[in-house]
């Protein structure tokens, strides 16, 4: 349960930073800005918590752990295309 609290804190920090409601981040919508926020939250969860991939997936209402792996890869690919992403991530992580 300790990891679930951390995951929820990450979701709230991403929500505060992006201005997207936590409910929307956790929804299954495919709008680009919401998917981006969800992927960033999953990436932070993967690398900054001890939670298993399956437990992270369940916190995000996903059926499989592969969704978390995909989100992390997508976020890492954004490092090359978005100049400010690393700074954004540092800001979000500082607010957790």
The domain total for the chain is 1
C-alpha dihedral over 66, 69, 70, 71, to 10 degrees? 120
Verdict on whether the full-model pTM lies above 0.85: yes
Q: Residue 87 is part of a domain; what is its CATH number? A: 1.10.1750.10
Range of the domain at 48: 2-94
Look at residue 41 in the predicted model and tell me its pLDDT: 97
Q: Consecutive sets of 10 residues in the chain, 96 residues long: mean pLDDT of each?
A: 76 96 96 96 94 94 95 94 92 91
Residues 6+ away with beta carbon under 8 Å from 71: 38, 39, 42, 43, 46
Look at residue 2 in the predicted model and tell me its pLDDT: 55
C-alpha dihedral over 5, 59, 75, 38, to 10 degrees? -100
Look at residue 96 in the predicted model and tell me its pLDDT: 86
């Amino acid at each position: 349960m300790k990891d679930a609290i951390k995951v929820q804190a990450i979701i709230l920090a991403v929500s505060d930073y992006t201005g997207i409601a936590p409910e929307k981040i956790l929804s299954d919508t495919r709008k680009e800005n919401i998917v981006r926020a969800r992927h960033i939250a999953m990436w932070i969860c993967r690398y900054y918590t001890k939670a298993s991939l399956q437990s992270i997936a369940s916190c995000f209402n996903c059926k499989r752990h592969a969704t978390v792996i995909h989100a992390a890869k997508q976020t890492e690919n954004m490092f090359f295309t978005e100049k400010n992403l690393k700074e954004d991530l540092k800001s979000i992580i500082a607010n957790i």
